[in-house]
Amino acid sequence: MKILVLGGDGYLGWPTALHLSRLGHDVGIVDNFARRQYDHEMGVDSLVPIAPLHQRARRWQELSGQSLAIFPVDLTDAARVHAVVGEFEPETIVHFGEQRSAPYSMIDRSHAVYTQVNNVVGTLNLLYAIADVDPSIHLVKLGTMGEYGTPNIDIEEGFIEITHRGRTDVLPFPKQPGSFYHLSKVHDSHNIQFACRIWGLRSTDLNQGVVYGQETEETALHPDLATRFDYDAVFGTVLNRFAVQAVAGIPLTVYGEGGQTRGMLDIRDTLACIELAIDNPAERGEYRVFNQFTESFSVNQLAEMVAALRPGAEIVHLDPPRVESGSHYYRAAHTKLLDLGLVPHLLSDGLLESVMLVADKHRDRIDPGAMQPTVDWRRTSNTVGDARDPVAEPA
């Protein structure tokens, strides 16, 4: 199959491209290298060093014999997006190509506007390109469990059956996103569903939980193939931050009460979910949603699990920078991918040690100051990094 991976230079996009290439697919990568620009803007870097994309691709071809087509394209450039889809002629498009940090989107007005324009306009351009070039292309889009928020009812997979005043219908599950980034994902979901309904497109929306892990079967083949490991307060995940803090002998920083609960999954399960979605595509005109996570933990539970692996590790509670409940009900359905055959790797089965090993191996690259929260949701302007307006220029 011909598969185009958007955001193929990123944390998940790169290992996804390698995995699909190893399976024998003809893979193209679209990226504007904005993620690398964010590092310069924030003054931080991946804990694990990552090679330039073209060097990565050359190393992959050397080791696997498989080539990767590279298209340096910004998705907000409609003409370029249309041209790439027409030139590559993909059967499937895997869409990771968005700004994915909630704190980044809450820095100030310019970062909120940038996030929504980059994400929403980019996806709209893509939908128009698919509709014009080949409506049969299957769009596999990375969403987020954060679209739902934390309602005081069970979260279903995308849709909910509602009976109101004697009438019943199946409607999109109510969304309560917690940042301008998560709002952009909600807008994406609505736009994609609309395009499927009016143009007969087909799409799988993967509402993903928090991903942990840095190594896959393909990235482990050579250091040039490594993917990112973000631990800073803007782009890092909570589990990565805790692991790095424990390794560096820094107190683990829990925001607020620590009762916030999130769905989690191993990076290898992300690849498996993408593969399952591709192998079992949506029908023409179908918009479907899979909740993509395997376990749920509270922030306190994660901190305690990490601290247990480093005797003497201290846990401290900071004033919460986000506007959210410190403890809440959280129960979300996630059966559709399991029904398709997903066999998950579980953090509760001892995978946390592998995250700690990555942090320990690269401990000389740890920047302790990068882990202090600097973005306060209650403020309309925060000073972070070099405080310039976000720039996403193709390299």
CA angle 158, 159, 165 (to 5 degrees): 155
Residue 203 contacts residue 2 (beta carbons within 8 Å): no
With left for phi above 0 and alpha for psi between -120 and 50, is residue 285 left, alpha or beta?
A: left
Query: Which tokens hold the place of 32?
Result: 């504007």
Among candidate residues 115, 123, 144, 219, the one labeled active-site is 144
Q: Is 104 a catalytic residue?
A: no
Among candidate residues 141, 185, 204, 294, the one labeled active-site is 185
Q: Is 185 a catalytic residue?
A: yes
Which CA distances in Å does 312 have to 27, 96, 273, 306, 356? 47, 39, 37, 11, 15
* Cβ atoms within 10 Å, residue 24: 9
Instruction: Please report, as a single letter, which amino acid is at residue 55.
Output: Q
Among candidate residues 114, 181, 212, 330, the one labeled active-site is 181
DSSP 117: I
Query: Which tokens hold the place of 157?
Result: 């997979």
Distance CA 219, CA 235 (A): 21
Q: Is 144 a catalytic residue?
A: yes
Q: Give the residue numbers marked as catalytic.
A: 144, 181, 185
